[in-house]
Amino acid sequence: MSKNILVTGGAGYIGSHTCKALAARGFTPVTYDSMVYGHEWAVKWGPLVRGDIADRVALDAVFEEYNPAGVIHFAAFIAVGESVQDPAKYYRNNSVGTLTLLEAMRDHGVKPIVFSSTAAMYGMPQAVPIVESHPQWPINPYGWSKFMVERMLEDFGRAYGTRHCALRYFNAAGADPDGEIGEAHDPETHLIPLVLQAARNPEKPITVFGTDYDTPDGTCIRDYIHVNDLADAHIRALDYLADNSSAAINLGTGTGNSVQEIIEASRSVTGVDIQPQFGPRREGDPSRLVADRTLAKQKLGWEPQFTDITETIGHAWNWMQSQA
């Protein structure tokens, strides 16, 4: 059996950490990335094939050359705000592009796919922590583009025998503890790197949107999951699909940290007295988003190893400092 695993979007943040984890488990990660947002320096553990998931000819070539045993699919645009302003970009890439990938898998006889899904599937939570059976009603085109992929995966499974594990994760955070790779989005939209950037450049302070939420300190609470824990879960999901039917599984720590707690922990890590600005609430921001991770433990045997937010922020800070 081939030890090659096709990793779409493998030159990105979570994709590159998963490639490192795959290599450590004896697989050869074949990164397939358009490099629109990916980084060549992040591809260290296997070949890089430049290509778009919407390009069927290029996909056919990579399937024929590497004969992968499975696919881990990260390739997607992820900026929620941009998806509202330019939904066509998100539906074409995230939804239609994935359809092209699934057709290529079908035609080349590749059955298992681990899909990078999102907690944005759930929209405004009716109950926290959020379980997988929570109603799915996204509130932005990004969430809907992922919702459509999960529907496609279910239908392809029934019709063509594709097996999938859709991993709905919450807020990815941190960086490789070894310092080999880390987060480098442009523009950056994630809270922790934005707070750390403010520590490095106090002239560009972080803005806290809303201080009157129904939380202990009035700021939003989110479930921050270390990127290495995410990478581990993707490989466990690939193993799971060898002997089990398809599933959709939350990935989170099961606890949350408020924006103010993230800022305070970042002060501790950096030694900088980070002073945020305060702004009004953003439309569509729930007060709490926290995962119920029971199913991940039951089906994948997965539990997060990095549960101290200060440690996670420390890894992100070390990476950022190394790039200065």
Q: Is 247 helix (H, G, I), strand (E, B) or coil?
A: strand
Pairing outcome for strands 257-258 and 221-222: antiparallel
pLDDT average, residue stretch 100-127: 97
Beta strands in the chain (DSSP E): 4-8, 28-33, 48-50, 70-73, 112-118, 163-169, 171-173, 207-209, 221-222, 224-226, 247-251, 257-258, 277-279, 288-289
Distance CA 144, CA 289 (A): 18
Q: pLDDT above 70 covers what percent of the chain?
A: 99
pLDDT above 90: percentage of residues in the chain: 94
- For helices 191-200 and 259-270, give the axis angle rounded to 10 degrees: 40
- 206-229 pLDDT, tens digit per residue, is 999 999 999 999 999 999 999 999
Query: Tell me, what amino acid is at 120?
Result: A
- Gyration radius of the chain's alpha carbons: 19
**Using 50, 70 and 90 to split pLDDT, how confident is the model at 113?**
very high
What number of residues does the chain have?
324
Euclidean distance between CA atoms 138 and 119, whole angstroms: 9
pLDDT at res. 40: 97
CB 115 within 8 A of CB 234: no
Stated pTM of the model: 0.97
Q: Which residues are catalytic?
A: 142
Mean pLDDT of the chain: 96
Amino acid (one-letter) located at 59: L
Peptide bond into 202 cis (omega under 30): no
> Structure tokens of 68?
């992968």
Q: Would you say 182 and 316 are in contact if contact means Cβ atoms under 8 Å apart?
A: yes
Asked whether residue 1 carries a pLDDT value surpassing 80, the answer given is no
Q: 3-class SS at 251?
A: strand
Domains and CATH numbers, the chain: 4-172+225-251 (3.40.50.720), 174-223+254-322 (3.90.25.10)
